[in-house]
Structures are given as C-alpha cells and as structure tokens.
Structure 1
Amino acid sequence: MGWTQKTARWLVVFAVLAATLPVSAEIYRWVDASGKMHFTQDLAKVPMRYRADSKARADAPKADSPVQHYTPSLPPASLSGRRKQPDAAEKMKTHHIRVQRAGASMRVMVRINGELDVPFIIDTGATDVVLPMSAAKQLGLAVDGPDVRMTTVQTANGLTQAAVLMLDSVVLGSARVETVSSLALPGMDEGLLGLSFFNHFTYSIDTSRGVVSLTENDLAAEGVLRGGRNESRWKLQFQSAYHQISSTESLAKSAPFGRDRVKAEARHEQAVERLRLLEDEADDARVPFRWRN
C-alpha cells in the first residue's frame, strides 16, 4: 500500500514528519517541562519556547554520521524501586530495522497481535500507537459497542471518535512489545507507530542509511511503564475522566427539568461508563491504583 494523501492529512494532525520537507530534513528535538524528550521533522510543531534552541541544535555541524538519538526519560529511583545497574552480560538487545522513505517520513511494516502485517509511519509525536480502523476490524478487535472506550480526536477534518484498544503485541522487525495502548481511527490507510511502542526502547535513527536502531530498556519490567504509558500519562487519563464526571454531574443538577435534564443526565452516565472502561483498560495493563488518582 503506497503513500496516500489521506495518510498525509493524519500525519499533520499527529505532529509526525511533514511530507513537504526534503528527504534530508533535520530532526528537531526538545525536552519539555516534565523532562520528556520529543522530536519531529516539522519545526512548526516545536513549542515556541523551545523552537530557537531546537533549531540551533539541528543546525549545528554534525560529526561523522547523521544519527539522531532518543532516550526515554527515567524516573527517580524512588518511583520504581532500586534501579539495578546491568553488567556486561545483561546488556539489552539492540534491533536494527530498515525503513522505507515516504516523503520525509519513515514507513515500516508492523505485525499486530501476531496476525496481521500493517504499514505504519514512525511518529514519536503520537502518544499511542494509532491503528487504521480497517486493520482493527480485520483483526477482529471490538471497535464499537458498550464495552469499548471511545475518545474524541481532533483531526484535519474536524473531530472524530477513536476506539481505545490494548493490543496484545506489536512487532517491528525483531523488536517485540506486548500489551500496547493504541487507538483505532477511521479514514487511515497506514498506522502511526507512537510512543506506547517506542517508550520501551532507547532508539536512534540513521537518516542516511535508512535504519532505525532500537535498544531494549527495562522500564516495563521495573513497572515504570504499563501498556506503554508511564505514571503521568495514566494519571492524566484518570484526571480527565474524573473531571468529565464532575462537570457533567454539575450540569445535570443545574439543568431545568424536562428534556434538557434528561440529556444532561445521559451525558453524565456516559462519563461514568467511560471511567469504568478506563478502569478495565488499566486492569488489563496492571496499572497500580496509585496511578489512578
């Protein structure tokens, strides 16, 4: 399946590598206030406060190789217990995967749930893996109904509903990650391989050779990651759900009797149901209760 205009529209929304950039486009990197590193090939996607520094780093003379590196931020040892220092025999495995150019973006084939090979665009600007709705249906995954949590996503064509899924496995080359948070979106021909996969690795991208190198980390084994998300990401999900319940409850109580109150109460019930589905999702990923506050 080739590069399509439809996929390009989604890439704009998810802050991935812009197709209008030349093949030799720089990778712009920045570290946000929480210490988390991001990168993109679209300078416009870099927050204004970090843009000048990010551009200066990208424009700086390179050494011998145009290799770009990324290491996930590690939490303090107190958050994950005593961090063991690996000896030489315990070094994490490194995987080298060839990528195909799609404009200035990088395209790879990914095996989902050990069953279906799906084309993906590498996108570390996406929090989760984003799966085309058609692929999710081919896999027999539930993408609608009362037991599927839905979330609203802003796209280039407006707001749309995405199904929240927990994939059994995502395999890129020889690199395999299990229990991966994802979204299923309609209107996509190719998926977006986001941070719920890449957070399991320290990775580098050699743009001249077209190779992505992934070195396994132990963040999942140490309990720092659950379903590819860290503590702050899960807390944000639950805080949003609690806020929706509180706000819809207030609106229901203040709504006048009649049709308006019925609608408001229905929205509140939907918010409560979304929290239940989020709890189920967290249970599947073995998320600690302290991350759900």
Structure 2
Amino acid sequence: MERIMSIFIRAGWFWIGVVIFLGSTSFAEEIYTWTDESGTIHFTDSLQKIPPESRNQVETKSMGKKPPSPKPNSEGEEGDPHRPAPNRSIDAPVPPFHPQALERHEVPFQPYEGTARRVIVEVTFNGAITAPMAIDTGAPGMTIKPELAEKLGIFENDQGKLIVQAGGIGGRVPAIRTIVDRIQIGGAKGHFIPTTVTRLNTEAFEGLIGMDFLSNYSMKVDWKKKVVIFEEIPVDPEMPGGRDEQWWRALYGEFGSMRLQWQEYERFINDRLESSLVTTGPDIELMKMLKGFSAFQAQEADKLLSKLDRYANQHFVPRHWRKY
C-alpha cells in the first residue's frame, strides 16, 4: 500500500472499480452475502446478482448508517477516544491582534485557452514548482492534475492522500484529496490549501485556483493591461488562519467522517473473513484486498486529520470548531 497513489496514476487507474463500488463518502446501503454448495462465501450489493436457489440463505449487512458518535477523549473533545488529545491548554493565550498594512499585487495572466477567455496565471507550489493555473471563482477549492501532483511529490510523501470521487459537470470521477502547504501567485500567498487531484481535459493549464485561496483577497481583472490584481482583505481576528467557523467544521467533518466510515468497513470485511468456512478462492482474495484498501484509506484520513490538527493549533482554532 505504500505506493498505491503512484499505482493509481501509472497503472491505468486500477482503483476506479473499487472506488465506484465503495463510494467516497458513503457505502452501499446494504451488502448481501451467501454461501454456495461448495462452501464459498460470496458478497454483492445487488439482490439481482444472487442465484435464485441461494436467496433463502442471504445475510444482509446495512452500511448506510452513520457510525456511532465517538466518546469524548480525556480532554473532553469529541473525536476518536484512542486518538491522543492535541497538546494544547484550554486557557492557551491567543496572541494579540495587530493590524497590518494591506498589500496589493498585480500579476500578469494569459487571457485565452484557445478561443475561450480565461485568467491563467503562474502559480508556485511550496516554493519549488511553478505551473500555469486557471482562476475559477466558481470552484470551492484547488484542483490539480495528477502530473503536477507527481512533480510536487504528493504520491510519494507520507502526509495524507485519500482516494475519493469528485463531482463535476461530466459526473463523478476518481480523485485524490490531500493538502498543499503553500502556494504563491506573484506576491499573493496562500497556506494550507485542501486540494483535489484529478484529470482535467485541457493542455492550457495544470489546475484550478478556487475560493480557498481567493477568499483572502479582493480580486480585479484588468483585461486591457492583462493583469489580475489581488488586494489583501483586512485580517479578521475571528477567522483563525483566514478561515471561518464553517470552513474548519467542514474540513474536520470531511476527514473525520471518512476515517470512521473506512474503519467500519474494514471491521465488516474482517468479520466476514473470520466467519468464512473457506480460506482460499477468488472471493476470499477480493475480500482481503478490500480489507487492505479500507485500512489504507482510514490511515490516510487519519494523517490528514493530524495535519489539520497541527495547523489548527498554530492558529488557536476553538475546540468546538474541531468536532467531527
């Protein structure tokens, strides 16, 4: 599982079938299992796929229920009771707020993708890699191509990369959720950007810059001068890290719920393996593969939660914003 992201891209998107079957944020409402005459255990998400002669012995497992709410940990926070509480004090002082002079940045842009008008700017990632990106005020977050993600080392690092499905105009497609530490457009900077890695049908740019970055600036486009102007918005002391309560709650909810769901699915598969009367065969091998994949997903979600916790600690995010 260590190099699953590289395999995901380089070996023809092997996990597409697994992701489509399991879903990214919820599982099939019910999983059906039965044992044939030879003692082999089968499972499916459709009654129509079960032989008529075996339907009287079908077992049903509901997977649509929300996992039980975790108990508060030793510091009274909600979350995984086995997850160590963040190392911070309830009464940790919030640093004093000092207004800063606001900056204005003019950045040249490429105005066309073929005949279509675009605002395409050069973006530097983590101070190292620069790539053309299109500004999209309709996108909530940042999206990048797998090729750019590979240049950034996302498939090789150990900081969290969760296989999901991304929705778009053309339907749902396989994707990876991760976090990019920092980006820079001219003098405009952004930190801790939740990012979706997926295919884009264009050669003109390597991804989309959405509102996670743009919300910290007032943006104007000067088509005559071919520059986009980023004007800093005054810092709001009620928005730690430049993000409001809804943003923090949504991200904790996303990573936390996915970790719990994949943990539940791993337990379900493990129970089926332990109760099986046979230990070999294609169905057993498939279940073992799904168990390993579920464990990998839960582990990656936990890494993203840990990274989010560290960033929240740096910005003194209130504890009740971190519930999931």
TM-score, with length taken from structure 2 = 0.51
Q: Larger radius of gyration, structure 1 or 2?
A: 2
Q: Which runs of 5+ in 2 are unaligned?
A: 1-93, 277-283
Output the CA distance in 1 between the equivalents of 2:227 and 2:135: 12
Corresponding position: 1:282 with 2:319? no
Pair 218,273 (structure 1): closer, same or farther in 2 beyond 3 Å: farther
Match of 2:249 in 1: 235
Contact 1:98 1:210 in 2 (8 A): yes
Residue of structure 1 equivalent to 2:321? 291
User: Does the CA-based 8 Å contact 1:108-1:119 persist in structure 2?
Assistant: yes
Pick closer, same or farther for the CA change 1:225–1:214 going to 2, 3 Å: farther
Change (3 A) 1:126 1:281: farther
The amino acid across from 1:137 in the alignment is E
What is aligned with 2:161?
A: 149
Instruction: Give the counterpart of 1:273 among 279, 292, 299.
Output: 299
Q: CA deviation at 1:95?
A: 1.4
Residue 136 (str. 1) matches residue 152 (str. 2): no
Q: Deviations over 1:86-109 (max 9, x none)?
A: 5xxx54111122322121221111
Deviations 1:116-174 (A, max 9, x none): 221010012222222332223223x232576532233235374212241322x322122
Aligned match of 1:183: 196
Q: How does 1:64-143 map to 2 (within 5 A)?
A: 90-102=100-112, 103-139=116-152, 141-143=153-155
Alignment: residue pair count:
206
Contact 1:143 1:163 in 2 (8 A): no
Which letter does structure 1 place at the counterpart of 2:146?
Answer: M
CA distance in 2, matches of 1:157, 1:108: 27
Unmatched tracts of structure 1, length 5 or more: 1-80
Once the 2 structures are TM-superposed, how far is the Cα of residue 175 of structure 1 from its aligned partner? Answer: 1.8
Distance 1:85 1:246 in 2: 40
Distance 1:264 1:244, change over 3 A: farther
Instruction: Give the direction of change, closer, same or farther, for the CA distance of 1:133–1:111 in structure 2 (3 Å limit).
Output: same
1:205 maps to: 221
CA shift digits 1:163-211 (9 cap, x unpaired): 41322x3221222234433333345642211122212212223445433
CA contact (8 A) 1:143 1:184 kept: no
Q: What secondary structure is seen at the aligned counterpart in 1 of 2:154?
A: coil
Would the aligned equivalents of 2:107 and 2:228 in 1 still touch at CA under 8 Å? yes
Question: Which amino acid counterpart does residue 149 of structure 1 have in structure 2?
Answer: K
SS at match of 1:126: coil
Alignment partner of 1:176: what SS? strand
- Aligned-residue sequence identity (percent) comes to 17
Write the distance in 2 (CA, Å) between the matches of 1:145 and 1:132.
17
Q: CA RMSD in A?
A: 3.7
Cα deviation for residue 276 of structure 1 reads 1.0
Report if the CA contact (8 A) 2:221-2:227 is conserved. Answer: yes
Structure 2: distance between partners of 1:215 and 1:232: 23
Q: Which residue of 2 aligns with 1:196?
A: 212
Q: Closer, same or farther in 2 for the Cα pair 1:230/1:278, shift >3 Å?
A: farther
Quick one: structure 1 residues 217 and 248, their matched pair in 2 at CA, closer, same or farther if it must change by over 3 Å? same
Contact 2:184/2:190 (<8 A) preserved: yes
TM-score between both structures, scaled by the size of structure 1: 0.56
Residues 100 and 108 in structure 1, CA contact (< 8 A), matched pair in contact too: yes
Distance 1:253 1:114 in 2: 43
Q: Does the residue aligned with 2:180 lie in a helix, a strand or coil?
A: strand
